């Protein structure tokens, strides 16, 4: 079976970019309800720049692809989510050691831990962590149980989508939405929605790998 190499990671980023572009208005609509209506446009701009950067400087190892994406997102996304997504990819790059399912699960877990450390949020605070955390748990569990990377990422994508949906009733305790207090309840968190797209993109782009 083919490995999770630089081309596979670049395909993951391209698929994330495609989904963000497709969902840009929906992400912005979610951010309009509890933030400042820029999440879709911020992320669409940043992911498009990341794909352009990858095209300009093709990398031959997967960690270098992740690092290029991280640096581009930090430079171009802005807002709270730019540095946080940048941290996710940077930590994932640093932790990637191998090209199989276990390596992918460990890299994604390291990315998640980096977002926790950088943003000082916890699960239940109504942030991207509420989609990324359950995805990490599902991925780790499935890989440890010996399931294929395709199955593991499928389970992770389902967990991320469920985590995204579960943010709706929560009161935000971090980020701009927290300024609304109780009024933030009743809306899905935009960062949780984009994080679910990131995991969904991995499930699509890395199917058959690892």
Binding site for ligand ADP (CB under 6 A): 31, 35-36, 38-39, 42, 79-81, 84, 115, 119-121, 127-129, 174-176, 189-192
Report if residue 35 touches Mg ion, rule: CB under 5 A: yes
Partner interacting with residue 189 (select from Mg ion, ligand ADP, none; CB below 5-8 Å by kind): ligand ADP
For Mg ion, which is the closer residue by CB, 24 or 39?
39
Report if residue 31 touches Mg ion, rule: CB under 5 A: yes
For ligand ADP, which is the closer residue by CB, 119 or 154?
119
Residue 5 per-residue DSSP state: -
Alpha helices in 120-174 (DSSP H): 129-144, 149-165
> 19, 200 in Cβ contact below 8 A?
yes
Report if residue 36 touches Mg ion, rule: CB under 5 A: yes
Partner interacting with residue 192 (select from Mg ion, ligand ADP, none; CB below 5-8 Å by kind): ligand ADP
Phi, psi of 188 (to 5 degrees): -70, 140
In whole angstroms, what is the distance from residue 82 CA to residue 162 CA? 23
In whole angstroms, what is the distance from residue 206 CA to residue 210 CA? 8
Q: Is the dihedral of CA 42, 44, 46, 49 positive or negative?
A: negative
By beta-carbon distance, which residue lies closest to Mg ion?
Answer: 35
For ligand ADP, which is the closer residue by CB, 119 or 134?
119
By beta-carbon distance, which residue lies closest to ligand ADP?
Answer: 191
Q: CA torsion angle for 40, 203, 1, 94 (degrees, to 10)?
A: 60
CB of 34 to Mg ion, least distance (A): 9
Residues that bind Mg ion (CB under 5 A): 31, 35-36, 38-39
């Amino acid at each position: 079976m083919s490995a999770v190499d630089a081309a596979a990671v670049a395909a993951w980023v391209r698929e994330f970019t495609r989904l963000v572009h497709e969902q840009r208005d929906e992400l912005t609509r979610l951010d309009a309800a509890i933030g400042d209506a820029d999440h879709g446009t911020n992320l669409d701009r940043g992911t498009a720049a990341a794909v352009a950067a990858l095209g300009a400087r093709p990398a031959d190892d997967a960690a270098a692809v992740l690092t290029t994406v991280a640096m581009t997102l930090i430079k171009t996304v802005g807002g709270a989510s730019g540095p946080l997504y940048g941290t996710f990819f940077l930590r994932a790059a640093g932790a990637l050691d191998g090209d199989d399912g276990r390596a992918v699960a460990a890299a994604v877990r390291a990315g998640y831990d980096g977002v926790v450390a950088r943003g000082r949020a916890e699960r239940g605070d109504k942030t991207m962590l509420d989609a990324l955390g359950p995805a990490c748990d599902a991925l780790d569990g499935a890989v440890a149980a010996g399931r294929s990377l395709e199955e593991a990422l499928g389970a992770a994508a389902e967990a991320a989508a469920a985590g995204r949906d579960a943010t709706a009733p929560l009161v935000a305790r971090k980020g701009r939405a927290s300024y609304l207090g109780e009024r933030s309840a009743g809306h899905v968190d935009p960062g949780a929605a984009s994080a679910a797209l990131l995991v969904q993109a991995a499930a699509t782009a890395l199917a058959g790998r690892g």
